[in-house]
Structure 1
Amino acid sequence: MDPALVARLTSGEGAGLLASLPPYDESQALSLGLRLRTAGFDDELVAAALTQSRLRARGGAKFGADANRLLFTADGLEQATRPQIAATHADRFVAAGLRTVHDLGCGIGSDAMAFAAAGLTVCAVDADPGTAAIAAANLRPWPSASVSTQTAESVRLPRGGSAHGVGAWLDPARRTTGIADITGRTRRTFGLDELAPSWEFVQEVGHQLPGAGAKLSPAFPHAKVPMGAEAQWTSYRGEVLECAIWFGALATHAGRSAQVITPRGTYRLTDAACEGRIPTAARLEDLRGHLYEADRAVVRAGLTEVLVRAVDGLELAMGSGYVTSPHEFALPWARRYAVTEAMPFNVKAIRAWLRDHDVGRVTLKKRGVTTDEVAFRRQLRLSGSREATVLLTRVNTAQVALILTPSPH
């Protein structure tokens, strides 16, 4: 979308049109567009308004009721930081005593809005003129925020004493430019060498200012965490959505950390508890009592050892995220199951146990095994009246099957 069209949608006739649209209904979009054109609205404005209506409907899952006042692009909506996570980014800047944030690659402005709402002065830029115009429209409620069209690399950041109280936030593009797929989205990339601006530029900014942060992929490799920086993997409702790299005053813990955001609260763990610990893997005979499944952010950050210590248990296999313990604990960042049965992986033995216990419906979980789920379910041939949770995983190098009963949170 070009800046002129954004301007039309945010003022006068276009703003009125957008505000008057009914809740988006894909089955009615064509007929609604025809009625609007018949009423005298031009094709370009109608198409843009209906696109925004569709994106706002989709954006409700991420932005809630605020989606109805925001403007989006398809890629921008998908890549935008969830408000709950953006708020934790802003909290870091405030806690570090920074007052101004340069948002270098602001997209539609999700993080910039959180910074501005936290009372920070925001200087945002985006290289795409249309995206910058959308961000400016979304940031209108905050006079302390400004948006300009330029690349991150072209921004003249302060140095030395003039940089006091100034930080930066970067969200490097992780999609390739060019032809989009049938959904309108461009191809996602994962390598550090494909970031724009580059990983080298991100690190330069991180060392130039008192504090800086960068939103990267959850696939960020542990070995690439810069010296003195903090790499924090964040999950929201169980889904790992980012790895943020924090530099300078914004790095509250040098090394790896995990942030788990749930409806009950936000929980943070660091790798400090893992230092000096020699992991000990479990044996099949240890699998009695309880099984704990670490949140995926904890696993991504390589912090399952924190769970091992918290429950005084043993990890089933290195990196599995599953820990067995005879003790019962309630942890907001790990799910607990009662272990009903543990056996070596054997389809006939599993089928016999389930049939003997009148199990007809199975919730299947697997990690660290290559079994085809569809084929496995077909081989079970169950017809009982009860339900069970079956976990196919490894204990050390051996494949095992665990029959589990979820414990209430």
Structure 2
Amino acid sequence: MDLDQLAALRTPDGARALTAAAELAGGDPLTAASALRAAGVPADLAAGALTQAELRRRAAAKFGPMAAGMFFTRAGLEQATRAVVADRRAARLRAAGVTSLADLGCGLGADALAAARAGIRVYGVEADPVTAAMAAANAEAAGVADRFTVECGDATAFEVGRVDAVFCDPARRRAGTGRRIFDPNAYSPPWDFITGLIARVPRTVLKVAPGIEHALIPPGAEAEWVSVDGDLVEAALWCGPLAGSPRRATLLSGKGGPLPSEPGSAAGSEPGSEPSQLTGTGTVDAPVGPVRRYLYDPDPAVVRAHLVAEFAETVHGGLGDPSIAYVYADEPVPTPYARCLEITDVLPFSLKRLRALLRERGVGRVEILKRGSALEPEQLRRDLRLSGAAPATVVLTRVAGAPTVLLGHPVTPAFR
């Protein structure tokens, strides 16, 4: 899409084309295009409207109902922050006293819109002209154009002395190909500029890939990993006065509110009142011992934040292998930070023995989990040749270095 096509979509005729396209989104593209052209919509306008309608349909998972009035590019939607994450970040910035914010590389404006809704004056900078124009259009659609303005330009040239705080979400996909960039030095803006912001504006927040190496985290920064409904979605570095604990795992819900908080956790004692947050140094080793009756599979944010030891303490548990992030305990303790399974069988891995055990139990449906195993779950499922009706969970892992298979079923300890 170019600027002329975007402008056409923002005319009354474009708005009507978008409305018609929305009714056809999700169906056969050729049939939808034919229907719009039959209704008198010019081919170029129909193509643009159908593309936006499909992107808006996909964006609903990230942005909810407001996606219906926004404009997107495919690459921009892929990298855009989910609304529930952006809203929480904006609330934290506002609570820290931030009143003006530079969003360097603002993309389609997801984070900037959230900050503006929180009452923060946002200055967005975006290098791509079409994306910048879409961000401005999204600000108008959200009713925050008076608090979020966008300039098309080089983020590294913005005068950051004008603002209280800086947020930077560097591009981590290659222009033209859309391929992910794993080397921070190849980000845009580059990593040395991004980390250099910390010295210029103490209140700096950097959005980074969840797989960032801990060695790259700037000294004194808080590294936070965020999951939504168990899906690890991002990491962020909170710098200067914004930093809290060295490591934080934050669990959010995208289905109508935050996940329940564990009594006594950093989030408070009322289930559902706040996001569930686990904090620590990220340098503690969990105790290692035998497999016990209950297995806890920690949320990926907990694992990435290197807070498995801190989590294990909350359930009075330990590891079965020092390199595997499964936690074993004697009791089913309520926790938002992990799934809990009751283990019924522990045996050295043997396909023949496992197949015989499942046949003996009448198991015909299995969920397969794995950590520390090279086996492919779908291949194993075929090799098991299941024929019963009962369900079970099979865990492929290592215990004290040895390939091990665990058999069990999920349990849901209740909050008291």
- Tell me the TM-score normalized by structure 1: 0.91
1:169 aligned residue: 167
**One-letter amino acid of the structure 2 residue matched with residue 189 of structure 1:** I
3-state DSSP of counterpart to 1:292: strand
Conserved? CA contact 2:86–2:110, under 8 Å: yes
After superposition, residues 139-288 of structure 1 pair within 5 angstroms as 139-140=139-140, 141-142=143-144, 143-158=146-161, 166-178=164-176, 180=177, 186-253=178-245, 255-262=246-253, 263-264=258-259, 265=272, 266-272=275-281, 277-282=284-289, 286-288=290-292
2:70 aligned residue: 70
Distance in 1, Cα, partners of 2:49 & 2:35: 13
Change beyond 3 A, Cα 1:97–1:319: farther
- Tell me the TM-score normalized by structure 2: 0.89
The alpha-carbon deviation at position 188 of structure 1 amounts to 1.1
The alpha-carbon deviation at position 104 of structure 1 amounts to 0.4
2:2 aligned residue: 2
Conserved? CA contact 1:345–1:401, under 8 Å: yes
2:92 aligned residue: 92
1:405 to 402, 405, 409: 409
The alpha-carbon deviation at position 121 of structure 1 amounts to 0.3
The alpha-carbon deviation at position 234 of structure 1 amounts to 0.8
Q: Please list every run of 5 or more consecutive structure 2 residues that lacks an aligned counterpart in the other structure.
A: 260-271
After superposition, residues 380-399 of structure 1 pair within 5 angstroms as 380-399=384-403
Change beyond 3 A, Cα 1:25–1:145: closer
Name the % identity. 39
Q: Output one character per residue of 1:204-232: Cα deviation in whole Å (capped at 9) or x when no partner.
A: 11221131111111110011111111111
Runs of 4+ in 1 over 4 A off after TM superposition: none
The alpha-carbon deviation at position 367 of structure 1 amounts to 1.2
Q: Output one character per residue of 1:232-282: Cα deviation in whole Å (capped at 9) or x when no partner.
A: 1111111111111111122122x222111135341111224x66x553322
Change beyond 3 A, Cα 1:240–1:28: closer
Conserved? CA contact 1:24–1:57, under 8 Å: no
Distance in 2, Cα, partners of 1:359 & 1:27: 39
**One-letter amino acid of the structure 2 residue matched with residue 293 of structure 1:** D
Distance in 1, Cα, partners of 2:212 & 2:285: 24
Q: Output one character per residue of 1:42-69: Cα deviation in whole Å (capped at 9) or x when no partner.
A: 3322221111111111112222211111
Q: Please list every run of 5 or more consecutive structure 1 residues that lacks an aligned counterpart in the other structure.
A: 181-185
**One-letter amino acid of the structure 1 residue matched with residue 189 of structure 2:** P
**Matched residue count:** 392
Change beyond 3 A, Cα 1:319–1:257: farther
Conserved? CA contact 2:226–2:232, under 8 Å: yes
1:358 aligned residue: 362
3-state DSSP of counterpart to 1:33: helix
Conserved? CA contact 1:17–1:49, under 8 Å: yes
